[in-house]
Amino acid sequence: MERFQKTRIEAFSDGVFAIIITLLVLEINVPEIDMHNSANQLTQALIHLFPKFLSWVISFLMIAVIWVNHHRILESVKLIDRKFFWLNINLLLWTSFIPFPTALLGDYADNKMAASFFGIVLSFTAIAFVLLRLHLVRNPALRHEAVSEISAKRALKRSVVFGPLLYWLGASMAWIIPVLAWCIYLLIPFFFIFPKLKSTHE
């Protein structure tokens, strides 16, 4: 079995996450107004930026959760094989795409397609997590001895429930009421940030 150095993969992944989370804020530009001394015009321009600010907050929290969960997965791993390596690359691929649907959502806050597209992209990121955890369930030799099969399967189940299913729900609701999709997207990170909102997470 071909093995990869865990420390190098972790360092590379952390670097990618850091770049992605930094790129998010670059989509929020300082507004231009005709009268530079007009507080009213600037206030209106800042209010107009609120959807972009909110989409940035949602994506920032989501990427923070992705980073934390990725860290927890690597903590449970003692060996990394070729398939795990490429499944990890798949996760980074979809995560690196998040700034685009974030900008799209911020620019077209009331657009059903923009709201749905955001959820679809994030669902692929969540599926990437599911595939990583599924690989660990099927290959116990890769896990630390302290990580039981029961806990690995429990983590896999939660990844499905609090990942793709909720994002698909948000993407579907976007075609009915876009603001409802926004609420679902904002709620998802809080399942991970505040433990009381769910059972203990791996």
pLDDT band for position 146 (cuts 50, 70, 90): confident
Which positions ≥6 away from 35 have C-beta within 8 Å? Answer: 41
pLDDT band for position 202 (cuts 50, 70, 90): very low
Domain spans of the chain, in order of start = 6-197
Which 3 state secondary structure label does DSSP give 26? coil
Which positions ≥6 away from 79 have C-beta within 8 Å? Answer: 1, 3, 6, 141, 142
Give the count of beta carbons closer than 10 Å to the beta carbon of residue 38.
12
Q: pTM for this structure?
A: 0.86
Instruction: Report the pLDDT value the prediction gives residue 3, as an integer from 0 to 100.
Output: 73
